[in-house]
Amino acid sequence: MLRVLSEALQRALRTHKERYISIEIKGWPLRWDLTVTRLDEREIRETVRQTFEAIADHFDRTRYKPWPETIAFVDSLPPQSRVLDIGCGNGRNSLLLGRAGHEVIGVDFSLNLLRIAQDKMASRSLGEVSQFLGGDASALPLRENAFDAALYIATLHHIPSVDERLKSLEELGRCLKPRGTALISVWAIDQPKFEELLEKKKEDPDYADTFLPWTRTDGKVFQRYYHLFEEDELKGLVEKSGLQIENYFKSSDNYFARVRKSG
């Protein structure tokens, strides 16, 4: 059953403001001509939500394969684990978990992506081992100490303040059972296409956030917010959240942290 918990999203909205820019990336279809500005976090969150609602079908057609790092993590889990998929999107990782014999609960704030994920699992006779909830990563609509493991893949970098990013990691820890494990990934700033942004960040630490375009098949372009992480930034947030890092590495322009809850 698809449940929408809009109160959870509203509780997470704050008025903290940061600076954001858009950048031009060689080889991308166009440039977002946005000047440096200050935007309310609520505006950013709503932009992220609206973008993923609008591109859900196209996203599903182009983002359907789990990453090798995610596959390796899922392969390492004990049989029949209960796994939380934060920012589950179209369910590509939820499907991987279900096929591996695990029970999965996916959370996302895009209802269109949640419906795709739900239909995907049901069409493969995995509906009984899966459930999808509308909710926010900074205020998960779930009880504490409930999950053996979690995936938090390519989602944390869409949260537009350091306080809320930390809060979401604390929420992850709250929902894990003692000794529960999770895999987290974020997009790295130290890659060639972000060289200009990295130089600006050296002058002003606020220049870590940007908008990048997604061009739908009908030609309409939507902007996607990202906070781009430096090498030790994710590590610092994880440690501050109280989770223990077991493995930390970079792969395919992403930083990954395999973490564990103490207990």
- Residue 182 pLDDT > 60, yes or no? yes
Q: Partners of 4 in the beta sheet?
A: 134
* Segment 119-143, tens digit of pLDDT: 999 999 999 999 999 999 999 999 9
Parallel, antiparallel, or unpaired: how do β-strands 176-187 and 254-260 relate?
Answer: antiparallel
Instruction: State the pLDDT at residue 207.
Output: 62
Contacts of 35 (CB under 8 A, 6+ apart): none
Instruction: State the pLDDT at residue 12.
Output: 31
Instruction: State the pLDDT at residue 20.
Output: 38
The rounded distance, in Å, linking the Cα atoms of 158 and 228 is: 9
- Residue 96 pLDDT > 50, yes or no? yes
Place of tokens 């809850």: 261
Average pLDDT over residues 9-27: 35
The rounded distance, in Å, linking the Cα atoms of 118 and 95 is: 10
183 or 26, greater pLDDT? 183
* Domains of the chain as residue ranges with CATH: 3-260 (3.40.50.150)
Among the listed residues 113, 88, 130, 94, the one whose alpha carbon sits nearest the alpha carbon of residue 1: 130
- Residue 199 pLDDT > 90, yes or no? no
Mean of pLDDT over the chain: 85
Greatest C-alpha distance within the chain: 53
CB contact at 8 A, 238 and 245: yes
In total, the chain counts a number of residues equal to 263
What tokens does 19 get? 């600076």
> In the structure, what pLDDT confidence band is assigned to residue 11 with cuts at 50, 70 and 90?
very low
- Residue 46 pLDDT > 50, yes or no? yes
The rounded distance, in Å, linking the Cα atoms of 252 and 243 is: 24
Instruction: State the pLDDT at residue 195.
Output: 78
Instruction: State the pLDDT at residue 205.
Output: 58
238 or 191, greater pLDDT? 238
| b/e 139-165 (16+ beta carbons within 10 angstroms → b) | bbbbeeeebbbbbbbbbbbbbbbbebb
Query: Which region holds residue 219: left if phi is over 0, alpha if psi is between -120 and 50, else beta?
Result: left
Portion of the chain with pLDDT greater than 90, in percent? 69
- Residue 246 pLDDT > 60, yes or no? yes
- Residue 56 pLDDT > 90, yes or no? yes
Among the listed residues 175, 166, 7, the one whose alpha carbon sits nearest the alpha carbon of residue 84: 175
